[in-house]
Amino acid sequence: MGVIFHKYQGTGNDFILIDNRTGHFTPSGDQRQQVIARLCNRHFGIGADGLILLEDDQDADFKMLYFNADGREGSLCGNGSRCAAAFAHSTGIVKQPDMHFRAIDGEHAAEIISHEGNEYMIKVWLNDVRHPTRINANAYVVHTGSPHLVVFSDEINGTDVFSEGQTIRNSDRWAPEGINVNFVKIHDQKSLSVRTYERGVENETLSCGTGVTAAAIAAYTHQGKEKPGTEMKVRAPGGKLSVAFTPPEQNSGPFTGIHLTGPAVFVFKGEMIDYFCGLTKHQKDR
């Protein structure tokens, strides 16, 4: 018997999910990176922006291991977290609507707000975020579990996100890890549009959960708001998300109570008979 996988997407950000509590998915090290990159390849594999393994955790309902499309283990993935919560509930790993899971940056909570057919609406709580660092008049760095550069612009529809994002991501300033790049338009005090170049995928994605969260926090800072809490509606190319948080009482403090709300949709399931398929014998033997 092969390895069963499920495909989910959250506002167009798509993922391969595997219940690995029994350890059926066995590749490790360089071999794991090559296998996952092959599975995420849209021409030679299943196709996805990333792969997520759900494993046992002593203190949480499950542990989420997230891998970028290049096969490397990634930092926190907001949309992937919602998809992991939906997957855990739909497969019976977690039976209650409230759950806790462990990611690379620590423990998180998730809540199923609604569920109809293949679509879940899910809220995920992120860790506190340090106050954005201003780079210039229109750009900030925000770390929301993943590092993000937020660039404000009045015109993002005409932006070459791939070219400009790739140049920034690979620049000496952000080497060697690189940075995710978000191009953001502020519509009003509580609504934004965001386009994201995502490292690890190395392309524009239809949505990035930690990216829209970074954009909302940077926008609040950029506009100089003083109210002790807010919620922002964010439109990405793949759909709509909502970000809420409590801002710091002082400009230097952290943002707290951060949560990201949006859909997680089951697409299909399948079975990997041979997940080494497509690798050379040398790669399989490593």
- CA distance linking residue 139 with residue 84, whole number of Å: 31
Question: Buried b vs exposed e over 154-187: b needs ≥16 C-beta within 10 Å?
Answer: eebeebebeeebbebbeeeebeeebbbbbbbbbe
- CA distance linking residue 252 with residue 76, whole number of Å: 23
Question: Buried b vs exposed e over 242-279: b needs ≥16 C-beta within 10 Å?
Answer: bbbbebbeeeeeebeebbbbbbbbbeeeeebeebbeeb
For 96, counting Cβ atoms within 10 Å of its Cβ (0-12 exposed, 13-18 middle, 19+ buried), the class is: exposed
- CA distance linking residue 95 with residue 246, whole number of Å: 30
Distance separating the N- and C-terminal Cα atoms of the chain = 23
CB atoms within 10 A of CB 85: 30
Question: Is 83 one of the catalytic residues?
Answer: no
Token readout for 65 is 């291991």
Active site residue: 40, 83, 208, 277, which one?
A: 208
In 3D space, the residue among 11, 86, 80 whose CA is nearest the CA of residue 52 turns out to be 80
In 3D space, the residue among 227, 118, 237, 109 whose CA is nearest the CA of residue 182 turns out to be 237
Question: Is 277 one of the catalytic residues?
Answer: no
Amino acid at 79: N
In 3D space, the residue among 12, 15, 106, 22 whose CA is nearest the CA of residue 67 turns out to be 15
- Residue numbers annotated as active site: 77, 208
